[in-house]
Amino acid sequence: MNHTVLTEAFSEFKELKNIDRPTMMNILKEVFQGVIRKKYGSDDNFDIIVNPDKGDLEIWQNRTIVDDEFAEDSFEYEESKHISLTEARKIEPDFEIGEDITTEVKLEFFGRRAVLNARQNLKSRIMDLEKEAIYQKYKDRVGDIITAEVYQVWKKELLLKDDEGNELILPKNEQIPSDFFKKGDNVRGVILRVEMLSGNPRIVMSRTAPEFLERLFELEVPEIFDGLITIKKIVREPGERAKVAVESYDDRIDPVGACVGMKGSRIHGIVRELRNENIDVINYTNNIQLFISRSISPAKISSIKLDDESKRASVFMRPDQVSLAIGKGGYNIRLAGKLTGYEIDVYRDSEEEEEDVDLEEFSDEIDAWIIEEFKKIGCDTAKSVLALSVDDLVKRTDLEEETIREVVRILKSEFE
């Protein structure tokens, strides 16, 4: 095995691993300096020349010419640093004692085992360098969005590969609950973290992190990418609901309208990517009461009482708004609390005028002829009946007092 074969072999390996040629050559030089030191104890009088253009390597040994007697009898004679006059003149007849001679050392001189060890060492060094390069590359990309291909599907995670063949991991708990991928699918997510485990880089992707939604908005909304609109905070229940607080630095730009787009054109692509996650885009404000009111949308609030010390907000609203405020599975009220930083308690507004109910709605409890008697005197709703006393109703209708009292009891129970 000669220099060129060895160098070319690892030059090809270098191309596959994306390591630049100068770095590869420096490693090659260091590896053979180690081979020389192992054989001679020092590499001081050796020159290793690596030609990155040709991809070859030369080892030159520098020695001083001594007389034959010194070479044979002196304890100071070192084979790596000295050469006898007789041996020197075999190379060049004109050499004299005391001159320096430089000769090339072939790889075969070190022996097959040393060359194989050098090859293995070189391969190990390059692989370590490649792992470090991958680690550094992705460490600087934490929070960035990336697309990778599913290479293998496991129970607890997916193994992905990027365009350069680097391996990434997408754990089950970083996937949207409704995600389903098979081998060969392209997956988008953000780099969540990068760590070194036993010398190998572990790159973890996420589709549930708020940063993923933020990067998607940057891709879809030019105003966010350009910095005209800022995302102040994002909270998510992956696959269910998300709330995004946005603020514009330009009064001419409506941040919510810009994020949603004409007829929802901008946000629809994001919703599809997140498996139909319901996304609420909210105007950010420093007015905490107004911010809470906006965050609890689509419910309408009557009033709010804040306790800044305990970070609790008591929200009062009409009864028909309570279910909207809480939302499916409680996601709306929970996310509103996370977004605003306040624990939100919802109460029905007792001062709010209760809606009236038509008497016909009580036909399963009150006979139709009795309802007709009330209608004859102009009482066609529950509240219109309850507005009159029992005595007045007895006088104005042909109904018995006992019947009227039973009707009043039924109507009152509706509003209790």
**141-206: CATH number:** 2.40.50.140
User: Domain boundaries in the chain?
Assistant: 3-134, 141-206, 215-280, 285-353, 359-415
pLDDT of residue 181: 94
Task: Count the Cβ atoms, other than its own, within 10 Å of residue 338.
Answer: 16
- Whether 215-280 shares its CATH topology with 285-353 is answered yes
Q: If the chain, 416 residues long, is cut into consecutive pieces of 10 residues, what is the mean pLDDT of each piece?
A: 51 55 75 80 79 68 81 68 81 83 76 74 79 88 94 94 92 94 94 90 95 95 93 94 93 91 91 93 93 91 88 86 84 94 84 66 86 82 84 85 90 79
Q: What is the pTM of this model?
A: 0.65
Distances (CA, A) of 40 to 66, 68, 234, 361: 19, 21, 64, 105
What burial class does residue 14 get, using C-beta atoms within 10 Å of its C-beta: 0-12 exposed, 13-18 middle, 19+ buried? buried
Distance CA 50, CA 53 (A): 9
> Which residue in this structure is represented by tokens 């309408």?
300
pLDDT of residue 42: 78
The fold for domain 285-353 equals: GMP Synthetase; Chain A, domain 3 (3.30.300)
Domain 359-415: CATH architecture, name and number where available: Orthogonal Bundle (1.10)
Q: CATH: 2.60.120, 3.40.640, 3.30.1480, 2.60.40. Which one for 3-134?
A: 3.30.1480
pLDDT of residue 15: 53
pLDDT of residue 258: 93
Domain 215-280 top-level CATH class: alpha beta
pLDDT of residue 352: 44
What burial class does residue 251 get, using C-beta atoms within 10 Å of its C-beta: 0-12 exposed, 13-18 middle, 19+ buried? exposed
Closest CA to 279 of 254, 293, 259: 259
pLDDT of residue 138: 92
